[in-house]
Amino acid sequence: MSVDRATALAEGRRELWRRGQAALYLLDTHGPTGGQQAWVRMLDATPPGSWAALEVSRQRGKTFTILTWAFQRLGLDSLAAVFLAQTGANAEAIVRQFLKDVGDDLPPEWGARLVDGVVRFTNGSELAVFGTDNAQYRRSRGRKAHIVLLSEAAFYADLADVEQVYQPQLQTTGGVGVYESSPALNPGHEFSRRCDAAAAVGRYVRDTFWSLLPIAGEDGSLASRFRGVRNAAEIRAKTGSVSHVAALAGYAGADPDHRIAFSIMVNNYTAPSSEIRSLIDKIASAILEEGKR
């Protein structure tokens, strides 16, 4: 009996979940792309009873990443987990969307279903979904937790109080906690201090808009440009063009403390487009060199 390609691919994805490989697979193909595979490996290596931190821009799919990582473990072992967001409604919406995105890939025998604020698995695993807006999370004080996921932790009003609920549980179970958030608007927020602590022991990842942009001379729309330019990879930028208009906007400089933001636009040009792009590249290269002085 022949099996159509779509059915074979779907079963292949389910088998990856069963083997404990889905986190890397999803994040390499039809999930978000970029540094997530490295994030998963860091989470895998987090020692029992401790925390890891992801300080990553909103566009990078960090919540998808940590949920994929957690679901992998919940499906394979009977574990208790908690997912927190700023509000209960937001937390449930995030988990519902995640299940919608990956539901067809999950092994049907796992039976993962979100009911009354809890994702329950056939093997007894549970993911409780709470918000921090009305201290819902305090209802889980004293309950067992092997995995605790704090989404957008830099926007919690009292991160220390949340930790007081879950830290004893993680220490008892030898579980793992994960802070993830966009960078804090207030650099004095407790999340920033947690990131510093995680960085000191190698359990911290920082990834911002810088990493989303094409690298000069290496990939994307800049793969064939900036050839022969010294330190070209320190330029990250996005191109733009319409008829007789060319633009390049981005950053120059690898050191974030001395990085220069630039925007170059040429209007109504009559020279060949290749000459205009070359001129723009020379200007951007000059900006990079100026920033190194």
Domains contained in the chain, number: 2
Q: Is the pLDDT of residue 275 over 90?
A: yes
- With a CB cutoff of 8 Å and minimum separation 6, the contacts of 13 are 22, 25, 105
Same domain (yes/no): 38, 162: yes
* pLDDT 10s digits, 189-226: 999 999 999 988 888 877 666 666 788 998 888 989 99
The number of beta carbons lying within 10 Å of the beta carbon of residue 7 is: 10
Average pLDDT, the chain: 87
Whether 35 and 179 share a structural domain: yes
Boundary of a domain, candidates 162, 182, 208:
208
Q: Residues 116-162: pLDDT tens digits? A: 999 999 999 999 999 988 777 887 777 789 999 999 999 998 899 88
Residue 199 and residue 226 in one domain: no
In this structure, what is the dihedral angle of CA atoms 285, 286, 292, 293, given to the nearest 10 degrees? 170
Backbone angles phi, psi at 201, to 5 degrees: -115, 15
User: What's the token pair of residue 62?
Assistant: 């960090």
- The predicted pLDDT at position 25 comes to 65
The domain boundary residue, chosen from 193, 208, 223: 208
Say yes or no: 286 and 260 in one domain: yes
pLDDT tens for residues 6-35? 788 888 888 888 888 777 666 654 444 446
Residues 201 and 221 in one domain: no
For residues 122 and 72, membership in a common domain is answered with yes
Domain that holds residue 223: 213-291
Whether residues 232 and 176 fall in one domain: no
Other residues' Cβ atoms within 10 Å of the Cβ of residue 20? 14
- Are 36 and 142 in a shared domain? yes
Same domain, 92 and 106: yes
